[in-house]
């Protein structure tokens, strides 16, 4: 069972003020981490998140922009200390069949969902290696494993996260740094609940457990992977999808 950490380590959660990211941020905060949550556009949601969780270290920037990431990682480390845990959670969708997809739709998704993982991880990995400790957890998706109609961009990015993480896990395994992936299925968030009820009903019907997942379950798994005593789990992809896609 994941327990409260022994020292106040610093955790950065991208896309950390809404949905799954907010639950991850709140859970890590409760376990004693000094959490910095990033977001891109929804100021109202960010303020509500701060009020609800008591997490004051909230940073607004575009994780697809390397220079913005570098600038804000420096701010976070000045305010909280060196980054021990990075959770790459930020993501967007621009769904469209490939024959109609524009370069803009492709590039926006690849930049936000995959380039951001490079940007944020590359900026903290040297420090983790030097200190002999680090945890990188990236949020992929069931659709990065199974594919999905209308999501060539999204599925490519989410599949890319898995290959990236396996390769990095090998590079840093001897340095006390672990790198893992969580691939959620359909989770009960505002985004999923916004789907037309008739469509959502069909989605749930295809899930063997016959219900949506919950964000706290994902957050608890992140906390397990981030635990300072869990140094033997690395290069793994955890499928959390209610049995909808088994590998």
The answer as to whether 123 is a domain residue is yes
CATH number of residue 89's parent domain: 3.40.50.720
Rounded (10°) CA dihedral 85, 2, 184, 209: 180
Host domain of residue 42: 10-240
Of 113, 147, 172, 223, nearest to 238 by C-alpha is 223
The answer as to whether 4 is a domain residue is no
Q: Which residues contact 158 (CB under 8 A, 6 or more apart)?
A: 91, 113, 140, 141, 143, 144, 183
The answer as to whether 144 is a domain residue is yes
* Catalytic residue list contains 154: yes
Per the listing, tokens 């990015």 go with 157
If DSSP codes are grouped into helix, strand and coil, which group holds residue 206? coil
The answer as to whether 2 is a domain residue is no
The answer as to whether 86 is a domain residue is yes
The answer as to whether 215 is a domain residue is yes
Bridge partners of 37, per DSSP, are 13, 58
The answer as to whether 1 is a domain residue is no
Q: What confidence tens digit (pLDDT) does each residue in 186-240 have?
A: 999 887 888 889 989 999 999 999 999 999 999 999 999 999 999 999 999 999 9
- Counting the structural domains of the chain, the total is 1
Q: Are 153 and 94 in contact (CB under 8 A)?
A: yes
The answer as to whether 5 is a domain residue is no
Q: What confidence tens digit (pLDDT) does each residue in 98-112 have?
A: 999 999 999 999 999
Q: Compute φ and ψ for 84, nearest 5 degrees.
A: -95, -35
pTM comes to 0.95
Q: Which of 33, 154, 186, 245 is catalytic?
A: 154
Bridge partners of 139, per DSSP, are 182
């Amino acid at each position: 069972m994941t327990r409260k950490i022994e020292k106040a380590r610093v955790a950065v959660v991208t896309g950390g003020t809404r949905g799954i990211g907010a639950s991850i941020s709140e859970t890590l905060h409760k376990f004693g981490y000094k959490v910095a949550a990033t977001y891109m556009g929804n100021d109202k949601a960010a303020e509500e998140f701060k009020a609800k969780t008591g997490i004051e270290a909230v940073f607004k920037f575009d994780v697809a922009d390397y220079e913005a990431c570098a600038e804000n990682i420096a701010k976070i480390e000045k305010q909280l200390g060196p980054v021990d845990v990075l959770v790459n959670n930020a993501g967007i969708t621009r769904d469209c069949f490939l024959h109609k997809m524009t370069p803009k739709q492709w590039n926006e998704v690849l930049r936000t969902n995959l380039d951001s993982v490079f940007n944020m991880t590359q900026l903290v990995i040297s420090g983790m290696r030097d200190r002999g400790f680090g945890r990188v957890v990236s949020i992929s998706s069931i659709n990065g494993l199974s594919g999905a109609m209308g999501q060539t961009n999204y599925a490519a990015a989410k599949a890319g996260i898995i290959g990236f993480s396996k390769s990095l896990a090998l590079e840093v395994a001897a340095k006390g740094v672990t790198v893992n992936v969580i691939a959620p299925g359909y989770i009960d968030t505002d985004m999923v609940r916004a789907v037309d009820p008739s469509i959502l009903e069909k989605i749930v019907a295809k899930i063997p457990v016959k219900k949506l997942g919950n964000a706290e379950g994902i957050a608890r798994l992140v906390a397990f992977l981030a635990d300072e005593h869990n140094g033997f789990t690395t290069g793994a992809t955890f499928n959390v999808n209610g049995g909808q896609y088994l590998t």
